[in-house]
Structure 1
């Protein structure tokens, strides 16, 4: 599940050779105003931040108005699903297909119900944390405890990005000692604050969190009830290596590398390590004209070739990762298939 590599300059060269050069604002097939609905209600989270960066760049490059609208995932799917004209597009992340894999009610298969647009960035911060006083110093410690019969409670938000690492832990436990996966159990909650409180109150041994939301708690004194430390970052090593050297907060990039593979190993199949990079991407109505899809691909290719957007993304601790629509669809479909195997493997044993 290594991240696909992509050359922006190669895309532009290919487009030119095929006779497809970026269109000027006056000639483009796109409307003068585009509503970019996002799968989040929050205007302070990572989805809104990423969407705003992309919307601002497209607006400036194309000379149109692209406005971000934080409507939540259900409303976002409904909005893009009823607008084939291209005046509404959706911006979200891997939850778009993971929730369908987990069987969450109301989630369709995005690969058949919508058109997959370009991948634009990665949030490298998806993390699992323990209290600073926890006996678990590594993922291996946690899996050994489960194999010895200890019950490990993991605080997650069910049905998406928060759960996929938990599923990977159960699968790794199953592979290490069949049956021990039953000792890794989910404690479902809502917001990150709820998960944090579970850890503070001793209701769970591990929580899903993020570098951005939880790094502040890793700086607290060891005897503080709220003090926690990272146990595992699900991101691929190559993604963390692209992060700014300063890392995030007071945690450097070198320190963050201690929590990713191969320093922390969660096996996928006994040979490969599980990784999960939280990708952000666009989704379109399945009947949106191909010329509009192409116009957005070309605009983003030119924007990424210029290089300024990479600096903007990294300044907010996001990693640039641009794939045009066709490559993005294949890349995300591969991720969908890989994570489906993990989810089905543990479901078959429960």
Structure 2
């Protein structure tokens, strides 16, 4: 067969047209998407938040998104291997705090991955003491440290659990340099481990959460498992958005007594330290930016409709959608603030 120049040009043009749908499809989320999360628990807040978002995106885009609770290390590895958009990730501030604390398996997420939109805040990060503790407040705890008393704080090292502990040490150092040495860590694991450290008399204060620990604040007087809140790290503007009924038998007004400004843990002598546990997307650095745009657009429309906010608040989460560019700038600012706190108390144990 003899090909004329016109025939060849027509063939090339036809091939280009046929290729267009394939190119367009590569710029959208695939039909089936795996959403890995930095937690192995299917009952924790990371899974709950991610499931709400995955369901909303699936319905809105007409695709299937499955949440896979594989834990931080496995999730990062899965994300590293897949730039096609078939694997995406949701995690929280632990992703950069783990790097700041030097935990194995945590690279700088801002350099290693593309930061996607924020979707929600868990306002429940808290610190508690036994119900019969002599410490009635954070002021009592910091004063005790100034007076030379050792205050033992049970935490899970290297992330969200530890940042409030670092803030306590920093506040002690600001108030009375040297007293931070009396705020000491009791390194444990899960929430149940931290609770047990308190019940065994190994810790004077524990990191906990409103969701997990409120039930223990309602026990009858004299119950050895009884607890009291002394500090909730969330910004007051965040906690104000929680349901008025609060959690369990503790309403929002009561919870706000443990947050700034009513409970003050100073950052620098003039401002209070606050911390919102924030959930956001992470993507493979080489993934097509058009896919990120698609997710941003879809979530913008989903949050405009309003139904997802109702689901989040029903689970005591605060809706907090920011598109990718805004989210990255916001999270970098948080990272910079907390890196200074960690640097101030580095070398202390």
| TM-score normalised by L of structure 1 | 0.92
Q: Deviations over 1:287-306 (max 9, x none)?
A: 01110000000000000000
Tell me if 1:132 matches 2:131.
yes
Taking the aligned partners of 2:282 and 2:25, their CA distance within structure 1 comes to: 24
Provide the rounded CA distance (Å) in 2 between the counterparts of 1:105 and 1:140.
34
What is residue 18 of structure 1 aligned with on the other side? Answer: none
Which residue matches 1:112?
111
Cα offsets for 1:202-254 (capped at 9, x unmatched): 11100000000000000001211000010000000011100000001111000
**Cα deviation, residue 80, structure 1:** 0.5
Judge conservation of contact 2:124–2:209 (CA < 8 Å) in 1.
Answer: yes
4+ long deviations beyond 4 Å: 25-28
Q: Is residue 53 of structure 2 the alignment partner of residue 41 of structure 1? A: no
**SS at the partner of 1:60?**
helix
1:141 aligned residue: 140
For structure 2, the 5+ residue unaligned runs are 1-23
Tell me the equivalent position of 1:213: 212
Rounded to whole Å, the distance in 2 between the matches of 1:40 and 1:26 is 31
Alignment TM-score, normalising by the size of structure 2: 0.92
1:75-121 deviation per Cα after TM superposition (whole angstroms, max 9, x unaligned): 00000111111110011100000000001112100000000010000
Query: Cα gap change, 1:155/1:348 in structure 2, threshold over 3 Å: closer, same or farther?
Result: closer
Superposed CA offset, 1:45-97 (max 9, x none): 00000000000000000000111001111000000111111110011100000
**1:106 is paired with a residue of what secondary structure?**
coil
Partner deviation per Cα, 1:153-174 (whole Å, 9 max, x = no partner): 0000000000000000000000
Give the distance between the partners of 2:117 and 2:314, measured in 1 at CA: 21
Q: Which structure 1 residue ranges, 5 or more long, are not aligned? A: 1-24
Written as runs of structure 1 = structure 2, the 5 A alignment for 1:171-320 is: 171-320=170-319
Following the alignment from structure 2 to structure 1, what is the Cα–Cα distance between the partners of residues 110 and 27? 26
Instruction: Indicate the residue corresponding to 1:7 in structure 2.
Output: none
- State the alpha-carbon separation in 1 of the partners of residues 58 and 251 from structure 2: 34
Higher deviation after alignment, 122-131 or 134-143: 134-143
Q: Of the two, which has the highest radius of gyration?
A: 2
CA distance in 1, matches of 2:99, 2:27: 34
What CA RMSD, in Å, does the superposition of the two structures yield over aligned residues?
1.3
The residue that corresponds to 1:163 in the other structure is 162
